[in-house]
Structure 1
Amino acid sequence: MSNSLMISPTMLRIEALRQIRNPYTLAFTLGMPVAMYLLFGASMGYGSLPAGNGNVAFYIMVSMAAYGTAVAMSSITSLAATEAGQGWGRQLAMTPLSTAGYAATKLITAVSFAALAMVAVFVAGMLTGAEATDAWRWFACGGIMLGVGLIYGLYGLGVGLFFNSDTAAALASISMTFFAFFGNVFMPLDGVMLDIARFTPLYGYVALARWPLTEGTLTTGQTDPLWALVLNVAVWLAVFVVLVGVGVKRSRARR
């Protein structure tokens, strides 16, 4: 196999250890989603109440896991973009690892930590009474989370390229928390706030992740059609692609 297509196991291991040793990564991508699930899902008395094809604890568990997945994807890819903008590419040129191999390593790391964040919340849910009527709904929610959550890797990449600083990862994570508060993720919204939430970046994604449980029915009794959720994700995907494009031009202009 050509070196240009190879992924370095050594670099993959170093990247994984680097993220595990990073207290910021552990706190925001692993600790915070689990803590928020335990606070709002497990410690409250309403967790065992029915919700769609499961209970309220499962609903909150999926919401927090989706949030953790988006944070992991965006923060780690923003670091990759920042490193590239700060001259890491010139260092890569001195090694057998190609730019494609470097990008693949970062993507694998981001997806792995996104999966780890999701599993951590799911395990907490299993241990504290989160239930669905069928086992396949657990896997369906997880699959949607990881598959659709890849779009937040683009968001993180765009933020990293645009700002090209060590604060890019923090900005990506903090903005995700902001989107979650106003995107019907952390707390049920209604009225005008819900109308606004439907246009935010995390709304469609988290609602799709909940779909195997809720089938689009909100806690307020309203229903989101599947096409509207898919449209939300598609529009934000296009916005993130544009952000990456603008970030690339801005990064090149700084050189």
Structure 2
Amino acid sequence: MNATFTLIELKRIARDRTGLFFTAVLPAFFFIIFGTTVESKDTAIGSGNVATYVMISMAAYGAVTATTSTGGQAAMERMQGWGRQLGLTPLKDAHYVGMKAVIAMVVAGIPVLLIYALGAWAGARGSMGAWLGSGLIVLAGSAIFALYGVLIGTAFRSESAVGVASGSVVIFAFLGNIFITLSGPMLAVAKFTPLYGYVSLARYPLTQGYLPDGSWEPLWVPLAGVIGWGLVFGMLATWFVKRGRDRQ
């Protein structure tokens, strides 16, 4: 692990104000709109209230946006020749991947910390286990979407790849029961989308599996979604990376 390279990358990301707006400020704004202005924000749900439920959802959205963007940028760097430049240095591929993973987690932590701080200020309530458990799951689970960013970056091989990856996350968020509460057939479809299992797992320490409509969902449902989509993203990203190397 090269600390100097990691710090330089973090400073570069900090200078990208537009990127930080979409990964941190925008999800925080969504939390204020959806989590603090609704009349039901103090309604009990699980071991907390609706404000906490929305807080976890928006933190998950922000973390996924951050890791997807970081993964997409890493893929574009490799496609555009940065990998060959790094090949002239003692830096190993494993170290490069490790540093990108650290960077992705640091960047993902920004919206999570900001939104959880806003949640504490705005009246989000829950047990200590719900706060800590959901926060850790949000951070750890978002790493899967770094693979999604790599997948899109290597598949499109263009400057628009990061935008496509980030834009598709918004669609996944609507389909995954993050921005609006789904029910009936739409909820049944949502369970097969990439973000549903991740955000449901993050909410589990709060809700213990109970959905807003009063029904109960066993833990294996979100776990299966997270593991399944993680495998899909990992295999496709590996295939596209290999195909890109074969063409060079």
TM-score category (smaller protein): over 0.9
> 1:93: how far off?
2.4
Structure 1 position 99, deviation (Å): 2.3
Kindly provide the amino acid, as one letter, of the partner of residue 125 in structure 1. Answer: G
Q: Does 1:33 align with 2:27?
A: yes
Residue 159 of structure 2 corresponds to residue 155 of structure 1 = no
Judge conservation of contact 1:78–1:160 (CA < 8 Å) in 2.
Answer: yes
Output the amino acid matched with 1:67: Y
Once the two structures are TM-superposed, the CA of residue 253 in structure 1 deviates from its matched residue by 4.3
2:66 match: secondary structure:
helix
2:33 aligned with 1:24: no
| Cα displacement (A) at 1:245 | 2.4
Aligned position for 2:187: 194
Residue of structure 1 in register with 2:62 after alignment: 68
Q: 1:221 aligns with which of 196, 211, 214?
A: 214
Q: How many angstroms apart in 2 are the aligned matches of 1:148 and 1:181?
A: 18
- Percent identical residues: 42
Instruction: State whether residues 173 and 179 of structure 2, in contact with CA within 8 Å, keep that contact through their aligned partners in structure 1.
Output: yes
1:95 to 89, 93, 96: 89
Q: Distance in 2 between matches of 1:235 and 1:251?
A: 24
- Native 8 Å contact 1:58 1:131 kept in 2: yes
Q: Would you say 1:122 and 2:116 are equivalent positions? A: yes
Distance change (3 Å), C-alpha of 1:24 and 1:243 = farther
Aligned AA for 1:150?
A: A
Q: Which residue of 1 aligns with 2:72?
A: 78
For these two proteins, the number of residue pairs brought into alignment is 248
| TM-score of the superposed pair, with normalisation by structure 2 | 0.95
CA distance in 2, matches of 1:178, 1:38: 20
Structure 1: tracts of 5 or more residues without a match: 1-6
Residue 11 of structure 1 corresponds to 5
Counterpart CA distance in 2 for 1:251 and 1:128 is 48
CA distance, structure 2, for counterparts of residue 54 and residue 173 of structure 1: 30
> Would you say the 8 A contact 2:104–2:143 is kept in 1?
no
Q: 1:180 aligns with which of 173, 181, 202?
A: 173
In proportion to residue count, which structure has more helix? 2
Q: Deviations over 1:148-173 (max 9, x none)?
A: 22211111111111112222221111
Q: Counterpart of 1:107 in structure 2: which amino acid? A: A
The answer as to 2:216 corresponding to 1:237 is no
CA separation in 1, counterparts of 2:239 and 2:97? Answer: 19
Mapped contact 2:79–2:157 kept (Cα < 8 A): yes
Mapped to 2, the partners of 1:15 and 1:59 lie a distance apart of 33
Instruction: Give ranges in structure 2 of 5+ residues lacking alignment.
Output: none
Give the superposed CA RMSD.
1.3
